[in-house]
Structure 1
Amino acid sequence: MVPSRSNSQEHAVAVRHLISLEDLTDAELWSVVARGADFASGRAGAVRPLDGAVAGVYFRKTSTRTRTAFSAGALRLGGQIVSYGPDDLQLNTGETTQDTGEVFSRMLDVLVARTAGETAELRAWAGQDRMSVVNAMSADEHPTQGLTDLTTLLRQFGRIDGLRVLYIGEGNNTAAALALGLMRFERVELELRTPPGFGITEDIRAKALARAAKSGSRLVERHDMDELPVDVDAVYTSRWQTTGTSKPDPNWRELFAPFQITAALWEDSPKAVFLHDLPAHRGEEVTAEVLDGPASIAFDQAANKMYSAMAVLEWCRKGTVTAWDTDGDDLR
């Protein structure tokens, strides 16, 4: 008789997926954000929660920061990686995405995937209990960027509650994750200034406003550059040509031109830091004077992406970890 066996590897922990920030409880969100700060500061110690684990890193679209962050992060946590580019899989020869996901789940412990499409495919791959699935950017949300941004703000200010953030630019997947993440914290003010016709989606707005109603935070979106808020803590922008997308309006640059980040913004918010999810196009969404100037923490923000990726991978394997604090006091 052939002995029975499991259809997959044995896992000592529950499988956890990150497809959207909405998938995380408040405690899980805070834990991952704070744990990213732990890793960045060296407070996490030498932990190896991915010992014996294999992470697949699958990117259909270009990536510098996210792909490197998860690859380096997995290796630093003791894991091994298998990396796939857009032309590496039998999907290109007609294999169904369902069959591809089934195979992945029987060989990998974690799959980090950037499809730049809708999240339905990622959720289908997450419909099993063998392999964690992490959304490394889809068309509607960039959750790992949102976690990086929260970790960056936490490291910069020692808190997230009560911050005032001004986001200027397209209401893309980065803006969506920023709104969904920030509205989970208390007394946060997030003002989005997006070009007409290029705001966040109604679905994202509704979810963020629902979070704001519970936390006492405030979300505002306008489609002009008049009467900007003053004394904000952070100014944020993203590239105008989001990876994997195109603009339906051939004259979109005319609409976007007034939304460029220039040094003039610091006249009313002299202490604000500047964030950018990168890559940046100097002279388009931001001037070189700002991106390379003293207010910019964009490259520190990029470095935090690896630490945030490590926190996500650890959460996938271990769940909620004790959050970063100061002298034993919760920073929230």
Structure 2
Amino acid sequence: MAKPQVPGQIKHYLQFADLTRAEYDYLLSRTAWLKERFKRYETWHPLHDRTLAMIFEKHSTRTRLSFEAGIHQLGGHAVYLNTRDTQLGRGEPVEDAAQVISRMTDIIMIRTFGQDIIERFAANSRVPVINGLTNEFHPCQVLTDIFTFVEARGPIQGKTVAWVGDANNMAYTWIQAAECLDFQLRFSAPDGYQLDRARLSGAALNHLMICADPRDAVKGADLVTTDVWTSMGYEDQNTMRMKAFKDWMVTEELMALANPSALFMHCLPAHRGEEVSAAVIDGPQSVVWEEAENRLHVQKALMEYLLCGQISATGSPV
């Protein structure tokens, strides 16, 4: 069912802002459809004989497993490439690698460091490229988190999301999502770890509140989310970060300030006793395991959409 790529019509997913609200409405609905079908053990192979190339410069558990299992469940197969084991790790230009890999595969997922790397790759690719994570953005994870919220609580429009922690790739992606999907994001981090105002558009600021005190961010929130205090690539700052963020742990006391029906999310892996207490992540408001599973179904919907366009419930193109 996958359609041939037409030059000039390739759609990439490099950051959350790459898609419209209408496209996200479709993807959220499509994810629910694919997940329900999967739970009923019903085969669905729209990507029969299609190949996903997975390029990893940063290690991963959930990203590799969800993409590899996802393309398999859609009827295709995956090829794992680690930059250390390919010519990319020996100095081959990103542009050259993109030309070659995209001529041998149908869709590409990249998990790397700088956003500029994936943008250069996509600019030279003949097939869709998906951002599996960069230092700047993590769109697949935030899309998953939004689906998890919608699945449990309904539309996220008009809701309040509290981000407690570092101004990392997740935080900036949540800001893009708030602007696109029309909800409020409250951000709280210690001094020295604030957002870069140069990266924030005027429209984004209309959906963003910066709180010096994490309690102000969480009060009345519908979703509380966080991440590790030391992201991949910043390990040399770990000791300094542990001290700076010590008052930004999501505890039972902090969660008690949120709406009684508020959910807690974490993209994992988590460090209990650092960014979140065990009582919260293992408690009744936590949906981290549902969140982890949903990476699989969200990314299936995304791959299907990038290769096939919108598909109706009967399986025909819209």
Among candidates 30, 54, 58, match of residue 57 of structure 1: 54
Other structure's SS at 1:56 match? strand
Structure 1 counterpart of 2:303, from 300, 304, 313: 313
- The within-5 A match list for 1:44-193 is 46-115=43-112, 117-128=113-124, 130-186=126-182, 188-193=183-188
Task: Report how far residue 70 of structure 1 moved.
Answer: 0.7
For residues 27 and 260 of structure 1, do their structure 2 counterparts lie closer, same or farther at Cα, with a shift above 3 Å needed? same
1:284-323 map, 5 Å: 284-321=274-311
Question: Quick one: which of 29, 32, 36 aligns to 1:34?
Answer: 29
Distance 1:203 1:40 in 2: 39
Give unmatched runs, 5+ long, in structure 2: 314-318
Structure 1: distance between partners of 2:18 and 2:88: 27
Q: 1:203 to 1:118 in 2, by over 3 A?
A: farther
- Residues 201, 36 of structure 1: CA spacing in aligned structure 2 closer, same or farther, 3 A cutoff? farther
8 Å CA contact 1:180–1:204 kept in 2: the answer is no
CA pair 164-278 structure 1, distance change in 2 beyond 3 A: same
Tell me the TM-score normalized by structure 1: 0.85
Q: Which moved more, 1:81-90 or 1:38-47?
A: 38-47
Q: Which position in structure 2 is the counterpart of 1:21?
A: 16
Q: Which residue in the other structure is 1:198 paired with? A: 193
Q: Could you report, residue by residue, the CA deviation over 1:220-244 in whole angstroms, capped at 9, with x for unpaired residues?
A: 0123335444332111111111123
For residue 140 of structure 2, give the secondary structure of its aligned residue in structure 1: helix
**Structure 2 residue matching 1:149: 3-state secondary structure:** helix
For 1:3, the equivalent position in structure 2 comes to: none
1:183 aligned counterpart, secondary structure: helix
Aligned residues: 306
How many angstroms apart in 1 are the aligned matches of 2:308 and 2:195? 33
Question: Which whole-Å CA distance do the structure 2 matches of 1:229 and 1:285 have between them?
Answer: 14
Q: Quote the Cα distance in structure 2 between the aligned partners of 1:38 and 1:282.
A: 34
Counterparts of 2:200 and 2:138 in 1: how far apart (Å)? 15
Question: Conserved in 1, the CA contact under 8 Å of 2:218 and 2:254?
Answer: no
Higher helix share: 2
Q: Retained in 1: the 8 A contact 2:265–2:288?
A: yes
Task: State the Cα RMSD in Å.
Answer: 2.3
The one-letter code matched in structure 1 to 2:278 is A
CA distance in 2, matches of 1:228, 1:154: 21
With 81-90 and 314-323 compared, the bigger mean Cα shift is at 314-323
Q: Which runs of 4+ in 1 moved over 6 A?
A: none
